[in-house]
Amino acid sequence: MSDSSQFQPRAILIIDLISRATISGILYGIALALYWFSAQAIYPRLRDASQRKGSIVSFISASIVILIGLTLMALNSRLVQVAYIDNDKVYEGPMPHRIETWINWLGIVLDALTMGIQLWRVWVVWGATRYRVLITTLPTLLLLSYLGMEITITLLVQLEIPVPGRTVTIYFYVLYALATATTVLATLLVILRLLSVRRRHIKLMAGGSDFGHQYAGISAMLAESCVLESTWTLASLVSFIVESPVNEIFSITENNIAIIAFLLVIYRVSAGRAWNSDTDRQLSTMRWNHDEQSTTRETTTGISNYNLPSHGPDLVVESNLPVTHVVV
């Protein structure tokens, strides 16, 4: 029976190697495919002057994210080489330290972009309501707090400032909690809004419509709310609290998951299937037209059911006026 004190480091090293060398590569391949689909969806929109500006912004942001993912994959490969080939499973020395510092800084930039798009979706989905500013205030504050904590920890590591172990543990607990709170809250806000619209639309449209399901269907909720990233972040927090070796998988691959969630939103926006500022108006117009058609059908049905008598014994006309014969 193996000693747990020896098994734990060995398990962490194996998971770390597989996560950096294999799982990250697979996830980046998925992200690259989504980037290609997004670029194909963006290209036709560049010809439309009204959509050109937004399409350029989407393409540039998607390109920055996919380049950051490529750089992170290259840095992780270099870290694997230094740690497992050159130094025999040792993350020590100036080279691994510099690589991890670069990974941390790129992670901060990536978090700002991927979490920022979640707040943008919250802002857009709640755009037609009076509570838009109030709804987005709390997740924005959480995101700023998270980025501030992330920058602080990265600076402490880069400058090699000595920090008590208990303080470092508290920092990481707070960091995980802020990341989870930001993504989960943004996800819940988007899902609640889409569920509300979906329920109202189905009720008024007697089962809904293809247009309504496009913007408030189950797949739309999953993509619009970045539920993949929220689930991954929550699992990372839980595995960190219970001190499970599986946390290595979540912490190392969370950047790739964030990229995939980001590109899913970009693809839906570029394909014209994402919620935008006109969606509320379009759904309201559909409901208005549906109500008018229902009223017209009810009126027509009522008139057709009322049959006027034509001739026969039921119609009796009495007149005492003389009858005049006109001869032509």
The answer to the question of residue 309 being in a domain is: no
* pLDDT score of 274: 62
254: Cα within 13 Å, side-chain hemisphere: 28
Closest CA to 249 of 1, 80, 21: 21
The answer to the question of residue 169 being in a domain is: yes
- CATH code of the domain in which 154 resides: 1.20.1070
b or e along 139-162 (b: 16 or more beta carbons within 10 Å of the residue's beta carbon)? bbebbeebbebbeebbeeeeeeee
* pLDDT score of 166: 81
What's the mean pLDDT when you consider all of the chain?
77
Q: For the whole model, what pTM was predicted?
A: 0.77
Closest CA to 286 of 224, 193, 214: 214
Mean pLDDT throughout 210-219?
50
Q: What are the C-alpha distances in Å from 183 to residues 58, 210, 241, 244? A: 21, 29, 18, 22
Q: What does the radius of gyration of the chain's CA atoms come to, in whole angstroms?
A: 31
pLDDT in tens, 22-40: 999 999 999 999 999 999 9
Q: Is the predicted pLDDT of residue 78 greater than 70, yes or no?
A: yes
- The mean-pLDDT minimum among 121-130, 137-146, 192-201 falls in 192-201
Q: 211: domain range?
A: 10-286
Mean pLDDT throughout 214-239?
72
**Higher per-residue pLDDT: 229 or 109:** 109
The answer to the question of residue 304 being in a domain is: no
Instruction: Return the C-alpha torsion angle 117, 123, 126, 131, nearest 10.
Output: 140
pLDDT in tens, 140-173: 999 999 999 999 989 988 888 887 878 888 888 8
The answer to the question of residue 152 being in a domain is: yes
As a 3-state breakdown, the chain gives helix, strand, coil percent values, each rounded to 5, of 80, 0, 20
**Higher per-residue pLDDT: 14 or 29:** 29
Q: Is the predicted pLDDT of residue 215 greater than 70, yes or no?
A: no
Q: Is the predicted pLDDT of residue 75 greater than 80, yes or no?
A: yes
The answer to the question of residue 293 being in a domain is: no
**Higher per-residue pLDDT: 313 or 21:** 21
Q: What total of structural domains would you count in the chain?
A: 1
